[in-house]
Structure 1
Amino acid sequence: MELPFEVLVYIFKYLPKSDRKYASETCHSWYLAANAYCFLKNKVVVLYKSIDSDENTSNLSIFENSATVYTNYLFNEVEISSKLNGFWERTGENIKSLTFKNCDMCEKVFVNILHECPNLESLNIESCKDLFMSGRLLEGKTDGLLVNNLENLKSLSLSGNQYLTDALFSRFVKAAPALEHLNLSGCSLQFHLGLVKKFYPSGTNIFENPSESVLTFYFVLQFIVSHAQSIKTLQFSSTLIDGAALKSLSEAVNLELNKLEVHSCDQLTNTGILALTTHQIMLKELDIGLCTRVTDQSLVHICNNLINLENLNIQRCRAVTDLGISELHKLKKLKILNISQCELITKEGLKNGICAEENSVLEELDIHSLNLDQTGVIMISEKLPNLRSLDLSYCFNAVTDTSIQVVFKNQVFLHTLKISHCDKVSDAGLTGMGKLQQDGDDDSPIMSNCDEAPTHQKIHLGSRAEEEIVRDANRKRNVMRMCENILTMDSFTGYSLARLKHLRELDMSGCNRMTDVSLRYAFSFKELVNLNFSRCQQITHEGVGHLVRNCPSIEYFNLTDCYNLKDDAVTEIVKGLRRLQTLELRGCNQLTDRSLEAIRTHCEKLKFLDVQGCRYMSPELACAIGALPTLHTVLMTKPGPYITESVKNRSPAPTFLPSLMRKLRLH
């Protein structure tokens, strides 16, 4: 008997989006439930790199003829021509969100798209320089029908467009009276008052005669002031916004921002942050990462005034010290925090800040590249029990077998864990077999059993590197023996990585002490989607075989520079991971054409493949792989000319190569 539609929808709400997607392929009733409105409104149709020019065979025709109505579309690196006008005429009325990234289209086609999409709520035009180059886009089009079509537009992003001017900006915002979110990141905003005086002499009505030569912050500010009651989100990342500009923006009458992004703004100073925290006290999200002039003074004002803040990013604000970080305990609603790459932050600052008391609110923490020791990680783990995402990458001295055990013990709700280049972590810590608890005391200190000194001393005559290799081999053998023994008894010794049952993303790139032992005994994640093992050079096909059987949901798999992998490992991957979409094998120089044949035979959903540096793979076969219908990008080493017996081989390229060049990137 079939479950009612409402019951299926209720159950599907507990599934990750990836699982819902594949559950929808089971039967028609599950398909309908997985595409209920509560899920469908957040789904985005992504078209990458190419669309067939023939309407009858175009990728768009699949969605055009579907019984499911999709409302969000993203076009990335696509040439959009007038041949697709029929698609916009038939589906434009249902489209609510439209994004163009690095797309090639002319002004006439774009205007036609806007005419055919009367219900747009979000419009994103990112890095489409050809569209703005003439400066005539929407000229004479902002009256009548076009204004009515964009009257519901709430979000507008024109980021990364260097040819944007005041006149072009004016035409967009004039047609969108209900705008709430504005993104001008990466645009060539001009802040010099001399330009304002040159293009807007005293007494000039700027809205009637906007400049067609430059994009000035003065003009954008006047628009924000005139729409202050509706504007809630502003993004000016990667611009030259300075303290004075942010001060004038913050003081706009009736402006109450919920979100501000000024990431990578080197000219931003404490003056602007002080004004922001004084006037925009309703802020919930603030991104001032990579603003190198921000100091403790700014952070003190943020923590004292922005009591509603939920998301704070101060990545690489190198002038911030423990003095500023100690104030973070005042932000009682903070859920997401990024303090990575702040070189002057130490354990003491964290102890007085986010770890001043047990914090059950903070869910995401990024502290990669901080100068901490393992006691700092242990403190964080004990004080932040509800973390969902934790980035400890490049904390070389902090992430050890001891500290990672405490993370496995306390952070059981983690869905994202990143410990990239933490090369002190070994099988002993990942499996928990090298850490033993004292009998009858769950909270007792943990101690290592893997590096016990032998009862008799020997003089080692090899180099330090050779000695380390021997030590690693002994450690691997000891952990393997303990893992096998533990399977025959009911006792528990330590905390395994497998304890993190909800893990969806794991980055262990550069953790070179991990071996097949961990893959066999510590990896069992049904929800794991993203996995990065690049430069983990001790893993082989034996461990990979255990991995793919216990982690069947992997979609992104990075195995760059894993030198010991052979064709058998790739065969295991492509046969076992039916959801695989991205596979990176760069520098795996033992792989041959057998791997490519396995990929071509078994990968039904692969979109991205990187086989650069795989010297035993033939370029012709790598090119042929590009014929897979789902594959849109193949990265490979540039073929030839090859030298055989001192003679260059200048044989012509395969006949199918030109048609596949749109999918290949040669390096």
Structure 2
Amino acid sequence: MFGFESVSTKGDIEEGTLYPGLSYGENQLRWGFIRKVYGILAAQLVLTTVVSSVTVLYSPVNELLRGNSGLMLFFLILPLILLWPLYVYQQKHPLNLIILGLFTLCLSLTVGVSCANTDGRIVLEALILTSAVVASLTGYTFWASKKGKDFSYLGPILFTSLFTLFLARLHPDVLPTRVHLSGNLRWNQCRNFLGIYWHDRINTVLPDELILEIFNQLGSKSSRDACSLVCKRWLNLERLSRDTVRIGASNNPDALIKLLGRRFVNVRNVYFDERLSISLDGHFGRRRRGDPSAPSSQKPHHATEKSVSEDGEIDSYCLSDAGLTAVGEGFTKLEKLSLIWCSNVTNAGVKYLASKCSSLRSLDLQGCYVGDVGLAAVGECCKQLEDLNLRFCEGLTDAGLIELAVLCGRTLKSLGVAACAKITDVSLEAVGSHCRFLETLSLDSEFINNKGVLAVAKGCRSLKVLKLQCIIVTDEALQAVGVFCSSLEVLALYSFQRFTDMSLCAIGKGCKRLKNLTLSDCYFLSDKGLEAVAAGCSELKHLEVNGCHNIGTSGLEFVGRSCPRLSELALLYCQKIGNYALSEVGRGCKYLQALHLVDCSSIGDEAICSIAVGCRNLKKLHIRRCYEVGNKGIIAIGENCKFLSELSLQFCDRVGDEALIAVGRGCPLQHLNVSGCHQIGDAGIIAIARGCPQLSYLDVSVLQNLGDMAMAKLGEGCPLLKDIVISHCRQITDVGIAHLVKKCALLESCHMVYCPSITTAGVATVISSCISIKKVLVEKWKVSQRTKRRAGSIISYLCVDL
């Protein structure tokens, strides 16, 4: 009866039973039930694995389900519908198995799509935890069967949960990092309930020195800040390892410095920069000592709507002598200090700082109203000073700089002086006499004559970097540089009106190590001078010619033939340089990596094709307002320059979609600027989105043919995009913006002024969807009150109320 008539009774009746006391027939029934359940479960797992694998590996199926939201929704709802026939026909065989198979198939399709579009580590975590659930339920099944326990719901659930938590808590050497972190999250949520506190093994095994070394290897500040939140020990160690502090314009910087000095005792580098503007209504204050020409020290503050009417209130946003006192007392190991446009700092503060920070090696006083007394104190106390920047220090005279040169002459290696009207040739004579080891000198003055430059050239024979903007200096001084400064490597000459090719001939003969040459607005230079430099300085790597209207094709041809190591070339406003010059550069400069062309009307596709064929290592190409450059040249770049990462084609009217399609196929772009290229539309930008997944910066402003389709493809293909400029794009709407920001989670800045189809809703979408957003530039009327309250600090307006 019941199919057990042929059961043998030989042997012990208890042999092979699930647990003692169970009859042999009932034992067979129970084993059969277990085999049936696990057979169905195994079939479901195999079917799920096979269907999910096909969905993941066969892209047409995956694209069909992912691209058709209606079909995907149908497969999500169908399992819920199939639950009803499963319940009704649970006793109808084989109809119940058919319905169960359909139920499993629908789930398998959704699981496959989820796996295909999810990080592999997360999928591995789900696989491990699912296997843990199956294994724990199986173990509980056999244990309960042996003991004769009933299968109530509470026992298997508690056992499975405990086993899964234990697995998720395992060491990261056993499980992947993502699994371990998610396991920690689950454990932290339930350990208070369970009353189990595990010992932190990391803090007991790793010594302080090793953790500090790990902190030093972290590149970004955000990573260090995240590590400091792990525990108190890591917080203290991270504070000890912090050696640099950067402070922008802020409210009450003096108190902030005191706080930072107590927390970070090993800081060696401190940077202040008060050039940032403050968006406060009313008058912003004044420049100290009645200097109307210098920028006002405006600072941003969180209370952007409060007006400030008194100078005392604005002064609270500026670093003062009290702040410098706090720097001296809190950062006793200070080696580098930068005070940029800290206009409230005076001689007293600098003098006290110098007395406390005797190990100071670098000091930047740009825009500070510091006089001779403060500079003399620096020279007296800071005997190791190597780098000094005195740009826009209008209170200085020759007396202060002379005293510093006498006291720190043996150690000073770098000096910058600009817009200091009271510093004359007398100071430079002292520098030439005492600063024998000076390597870098930057001069920008209308009052320096040949006498001062001659003294520096004769006295500072180790000079390697020389930057001059002295309009009354003549050939005599620069010829002395060529004769005496044989170690010169960098030479920059700006706005010289009284020197000719004779100076460059002397430089070419004497400065054989010259690697970097900049000629800006030097109207009397011609091809002869450039040929002399190219002939004598064969190691030249960087050349910039800006606004030198008498330099033409022949001079640059000589550079292409004589300087094979040239890696960067910039030609700005050079109307006489033609295609043949760049053809010679393409043939002779195989290592060229960067080319900048601005307003070179005689350069066209022929020159760009020669560069593309000859300079295959090109990484940066910037072209602006070169109207003869079109699709042919840029297509050649895309086909030959496989390392190109930056491309800028501003207002090149002849460049269209065909050029960008070629670039998208051949170049791993990270930076693209096609502002004002009116022939570029959706097709070109879509090609870039498909071929350049590493793109992080994009400027498509003033493209009238660009629409929402390009924005949608950018969102799908460029997840690393951080900065985008879409101003003056009339066809881009809120829909396109929504598609863009949906998947560009790293977006930090978005400029979208004069986009009439983008409304208040579009601006709110950008603010709410991009968690990393730092700057949004829009018209003021497009920002709602809610958006302004939510993210007022990151919104910049096209027109600022004055």
TM-score when scaled to structure 2? 0.57
1:433 and 1:334 map into 2 onto residues whose CA distance is 24
1:241 and 1:111 map into 2 onto residues whose CA distance is 28
Residues 326 and 576 of structure 1, relative CA distance in 2, 3 Å threshold = farther
Aligned to 2:724: 583
Aligned to 1:392: 571
Aligned partner (choices 372, 381, 406) of residue 166 of structure 1: 372
Aligned to 2:405: 224
1:155 aligns to 2:296 (yes or no)? no
Aligned partner (choices 160, 175, 180) of residue 386 of structure 2: 180
Question: Per-residue CA shift, 1:361-382, capped at 9, x if unaligned?
Answer: 1111111333344444443223
Question: Per-residue CA shift, 1:101-141, capped at 9, x if unaligned?
Answer: 117455445533443333322111111224x26x6536767
| Residue pairs, 1:560-575, within 5 angstroms | 560-575=701-716
Counterpart amino acid of residue 358 in structure 2: E
- Rg larger in 1 or in 2? 2
Aligned partner (choices 431, 434, 437) of residue 256 of structure 1: 437
Residues 430 and 266 of structure 1, relative CA distance in 2, 3 Å threshold = same
1:434 and 1:310 map into 2 onto residues whose CA distance is 29
Aligned to 2:527: 347
Aligned to 1:633: 775
Question: Per-residue CA shift, 1:329-370, capped at 9, x if unaligned?
Answer: 22110111101332332223212x22226x541111111333
Instruction: Identify, as 1 or 2, the structure richer in helix.
Output: 2
Unaligned 5+ residue runs, structure 1?
A: 1-24, 29-34, 190-214, 436-441, 443-468, 484-494, 641-651
1:416 aligns to 2:594 (yes or no)? yes
1:323 aligns to 2:495 (yes or no)? no
Aligned partner (choices 120, 125, 137) of residue 349 of structure 2: 137
Aligned to 1:455: none
Question: Per-residue CA shift, 1:482-525, capped at 9, x if unaligned?
Answer: 97xxxxxxxxxxx6465445545444433332222322224677
Unaligned 5+ residue runs, structure 2?
A: 1-177, 182-210, 275-298, 300-316, 615-626
Alpha carbons 1:421, 1:511 under 8 Å: kept: no
Alpha carbons 1:424, 1:513 under 8 Å: kept: no
Residues 365 and 292 of structure 1, relative CA distance in 2, 3 Å threshold = same
Question: Per-residue CA shift, 1:519-556, capped at 9, x if unaligned?
Answer: 22246776755444333332223222333444444444
| Residue pairs, 1:181-580, within 5 angstroms | 181-189=387-395, 215-240=396-421, 243-253=424-434, 255-263=436-444, 265-288=445-468, 290-330=469-509, 331-351=511-531, 353-356=532-535, 360-371=538-549, 372-400=551-579, 403-422=581-600, 430=608, 479=632, 496=637, 499-522=640-663, 529-580=670-721
1:662 aligns to 2:793 (yes or no)? yes
Alpha carbons 1:421, 1:510 under 8 Å: kept: no
How far the C-alpha of 1:579 sits from its partner, in A, is 3.7
Alpha carbons 1:393, 1:418 under 8 Å: kept: yes
How far the C-alpha of 1:227 sits from its partner, in A, is 1.6
Alpha carbons 1:318, 1:342 under 8 Å: kept: yes
1:320 and 1:504 map into 2 onto residues whose CA distance is 39
Residues 84 and 360 of structure 1, relative CA distance in 2, 3 Å threshold = same
Counterpart amino acid of residue 154 in structure 1: R
SS in 1 for 2:452: helix
2:777 and 2:386 map into 1 onto residues whose CA distance is 40
Identity %: 20
Residues 419 and 221 of structure 1, relative CA distance in 2, 3 Å threshold = same
Counterpart amino acid of residue 548 in structure 2: L
Aligned to 1:127: 341
Aligned to 1:209: none
Residues 559 and 424 of structure 1, relative CA distance in 2, 3 Å threshold = farther
Higher relative contact order (CA 8 A, sep 6+): 1
Alpha carbons 2:489, 2:515 under 8 Å: kept: yes
1:77 aligns to 2:208 (yes or no)? no
Counterpart amino acid of residue 118 in structure 1: T
How far the C-alpha of 1:428 sits from its partner, in A, is 6.0
Alpha carbons 1:415, 1:504 under 8 Å: kept: no
Counterpart amino acid of residue 660 in structure 1: A
SS in 2 for 1:419: strand
1:91 aligns to 2:264 (yes or no)? yes
How far the C-alpha of 1:36 sits from its partner, in A, is 11
Residues 310 and 318 of structure 1, relative CA distance in 2, 3 Å threshold = same
How far the C-alpha of 1:260 sits from its partner, in A, is 0.6
SS in 1 for 2:473: coil
1:64 and 1:370 map into 2 onto residues whose CA distance is 57
| Residue pairs, 1:16-95, within 5 angstroms | 45=221, 69-79=241-251, 80=253, 82=255, 87-93=260-266, 95=267
2:235 and 2:780 map into 1 onto residues whose CA distance is 36
2:249 and 2:598 map into 1 onto residues whose CA distance is 31
TM-score when scaled to structure 1? 0.68
Question: Per-residue CA shift, 1:163-182, capped at 9, x if unaligned?
Answer: 32334445555553321111
Residues 245 and 587 of structure 1, relative CA distance in 2, 3 Å threshold = farther
SS in 1 for 2:434: coil
2:218 and 2:460 map into 1 onto residues whose CA distance is 30
SS in 2 for 1:414: coil
